[in-house]
Amino acid sequence: MPSISIVIPCHNRAYDLIKTLKAYDCQNVDEPFELIAIDDASVDETYELLTSYRPKHYSLRVEHQEKNLGPASARNRGILLSQAPLILFAGDDIVPHPLLIRGHLAAHRFYKGKEIAVLGQVLWPQDLPVNTLMVHIDGIGAQQFSYYYFQDRQYDYRHLYTANVSLKREFLLSQEKLFDTDFKYAAFEDVELSYRLSRNGLRIIYSSHLKGYHYHYYNIWTFSDRMFRVGMMAHLMIQKHPKSRIRILGRKWPLRIARWKLMEPFRRLSLERTQRLETQLLHRSSSYEWSSHPFLDDLYIKNLTYFFFKGVIYGIYGETHHAQKVNNLCADEYLTPLVKQFSEGSNHLGKILTHAL
């Protein structure tokens, strides 16, 4: 019987996935373990790679989903197929440190309670080019992970990062529902499960020495798209669990919506203008991704906050004309000042960024 099951949703990751599979063959652990890979309707060679790989030191089970249902559905399938008392959730783009599995097993032997989850760290690998945006989202911005602020201690339900976290299978199966498959994107499906588990006593213990390396390159365009989807899923989370609103959106969010709705009759902003602002800001932001300067963190925060709130707005109103009008006001609050700051030589930011180049 395996000591731990690694459950990995896979989608269009053929290029990097072989690196992940080989890294599990290099684990420094004597106990048997299994890897359950769920191919979520990939359109590249992911499934062929998974079925052709022959691991030397672990058992590999591969399942295929005909439709792309998202990581929540894939993980649920993996949980039900698992045979070990422990389940480690990881990503198809996460290459484990050689001591990762040994460390998770040791942590659960120390923390014996069934309600304990052990959270490991996710880092950018040294052989992946890391731009200033990637430094930011895993650093002071914490839009992807909050490890920058962590110490080895307990954290709340918002930090059950399924890129590198292990739980007792018995505790997971105590839920009436596993991951909620209404969350179609890789955003908040883990937070939502964690929220429900926290009602049954979930404790997330962070151990920084349990490392995985994240092979996923981002630029401002791709991560802004991600933040939009995160915003949509954040709204879904709050719909399902209204009491989570303050921790997810903060206290001021309802006031922002109310203010924008009041402003709407007096501000005639067009969808074309908002799209032009977005494109202009993304183009200009992308030109600074390899120019390090402390002021860029503020730029990224405002930029990514806008796309997050845009996702929340479209989550609330759907693809409607009203959503466009409210989002126009959101863009006017967040993007217009940034574009003005970028105007050549018009202010301190423009001069700073020009000097940084």
| Angle formed by the axes of helices 220-240 and 296-317, nearest 10° | 50
Do residues 101 and 231 share a domain? Answer: no
SS3 state at 120: strand
**At which residue do the structure tokens 């217009």 appear?**
336
Which residues, other chains included, contact 65 with Cβ-Cβ below 8 Å and sequence gap of 6+?
A: 38, 39, 40, 41, 73, 74, 77
Q: Per the structure, how many domains does the chain have?
A: 2
Q: Which CATH number characterizes residue 26's domain? A: 3.90.550.10
Do residues 236 and 202 share a domain? Answer: no
**At which residue do the structure tokens 């058992």 appear?**
59
Do residues 70 and 184 share a domain? Answer: yes
Indicate the residue among 171, 194, 214 that finishes a domain.
Answer: 214
Reading the chain (357 residues) residue by residue, the pLDDT tens digits are 899 999 999 999 998 899 999 999 999 999 999 999 999 999 999 999 999 999 999 999 999 999 999 999 999 999 999 999 999 999 999 999 999 999 999 999 999 999 999 999 999 999 999 999 999 999 999 999 999 999 999 999 999 999 999 999 999 999 999 999 999 999 999 999 999 999 999 999 999 999 999 999 999 999 999 999 999 999 999 999 999 887 887 766 655 665 655 555 545 567 788 888 899 889 888 888 998 777 789 889 999 999 999 999 999 889 888 888 888 888 888 888 887 776 644 445 455 444 433
* Rounded Cα–Cα distance for residues 285 and 281 (Å): 6
CA-based nearest residue to 326, from 298, 306, 300, 304: 306
Q: What's the token pair of residue 102?
A: 């040994």
Q: How many helices (H) and strands (E) does the chain have?
A: 14, 9
* Rounded Cα–Cα distance for residues 56 and 221 (Å): 39
Domain of 297?
A: 220-356
Do residues 235 and 305 share a domain? Answer: yes
Do residues 192 and 315 share a domain? Answer: no
* Rounded Cα–Cα distance for residues 309 and 293 (Å): 26
Indicate the residue among 214, 231, 254 that finishes a domain.
Answer: 214
Do residues 224 and 210 share a domain? Answer: no
Indicate the residue among 214, 248, 277 that finishes a domain.
Answer: 214
Do residues 305 and 200 share a domain? Answer: no
Do residues 239 and 145 share a domain? Answer: no
Do residues 274 and 342 share a domain? Answer: yes
Do residues 208 and 287 share a domain? Answer: no
Do residues 296 and 192 share a domain? Answer: no
* Rounded Cα–Cα distance for residues 78 and 88 (Å): 11
Do residues 263 and 160 share a domain? Answer: no
